[in-house]
Amino acid sequence: MRKTFSKKAALLPLPVYIIGTYDENGKANAMNLAWGVQCGYHEVSLSIAKEHKTMKNILLKKEFTISLATKATKDIADYFGIESGNKVDKIEKSGVHVVKSENIDAPIIEEFPLTLECKVIEIQEELGDYRVIAEIINTLADESVLNEKGQIDVDKLELITFDSITNSYRVLGEKVGQAFKDGAKIK
């Protein structure tokens, strides 16, 4: 038997993305965002409310970074989600270190070991907010999260996800199979 929960969106896991932007004065800002997804091999789609400083900055610059939050950066990531960039300089208050991307006009937050550099393809008004579709033009990974072959090691990253059911963060789990292979047993 199943219990009904009405409209509860229990789509798990949700990412913990940190969106980095610059404003019109070149001041860096960061926002915690869970409503985002990879929507192609090199594209992402983000849903962002109109009133966020991050959205205003994206409309202005058309470029941004996405850093993936980790177990080690959980507190910083959460802070970026509970404070408004319209009211507080979150970069200064959090004490993170920012460098300008060499490829786009957006900040890279050094504490986060994996960062995607993105350029806007399209911005759509949707349900009173914005959907931002962007191309990933480059991915930067700290050497500490690479394996012996120089590839990104998801286990070393210890990525966190947002659990919208309990309003908590969880570490992404263990590898349980091989994509595009394990299902072949059923053929």
Residue 182 domain flag: yes
Write out the two tokens for 152.
């990104």
Residue 33 domain flag: yes
Residue 49: domain span: 14-186
Number of domains in the chain: 1
Residue 5 domain flag: no
What's phi and psi for 11, nearest 5 deg? -90, 110
Smallest CA-to-CA distance from 129 within 64, 60, 55 is with 55
Residue 8 domain flag: no
Residue 32 domain flag: yes
Q: pLDDT tens digit string along 14-65?
A: 999 999 999 999 999 999 999 999 999 999 999 999 999 999 999 999 999 9
Residue 1 domain flag: no
Q: What CATH code is carried by the domain that includes residue 102?
A: 2.30.110.10
CA distances from 70 to 1, 108, 165 (A): 36, 15, 20
Contact 53, 31 (CB under 8 A): yes
Residue 120 domain flag: yes
pLDDT tens digits, the chain, 187 residues: what are they?
988 878 777 788 899 999 999 999 999 999 999 999 999 999 999 999 999 999 999 999 999 999 999 999 999 999 999 999 999 999 999 999 999 999 999 999 999 999 999 999 999 998 889 999 999 999 999 999 999 999 999 999 999 999 998 999 999 989 899 999 999 999 9
Residue 165 domain flag: yes
